[in-house]
Amino acid sequence: MKIEILGTGCPKCKMLMQLTQQAVAELNLTAQITKVEDITAIMNYGVMSTPALVINGKVVLAGHLVSVEKIKEFLQTQK
């Protein structure tokens, strides 16, 4: 599973990274998690507000934070 956190390094972006790492660990998933900070790369996903969560190339969240439980739901439906 490939997971990308889109954001320029703001506190919410950093928090989304932590929450995602926690969700992956709790689900015992094998995943490659990367942080994308390049504005052009972020815009290529069609994301206009960060943070954003991309799972296997699909944007599942943009513009706000959600709970670890919600991230786990995203991860389980994108397997």
Amino acid letter, 73: E
List b or e across 11-33, with b for residues whose CB sees 16 or more CB atoms inside 10 angstroms: eebeebbebbbebbeeeeeebee
Of the candidates 10, 41, 43, 48, the residue annotated as catalytic is: 10
Length of the chain: 79
- Note if 13 is an active site residue: yes
Catalytic one among 5, 13, 19, 60? Answer: 13
In the residue annotation, 10 being an active-site residue is answered as yes
Give the active site residues.
Answer: 10, 13
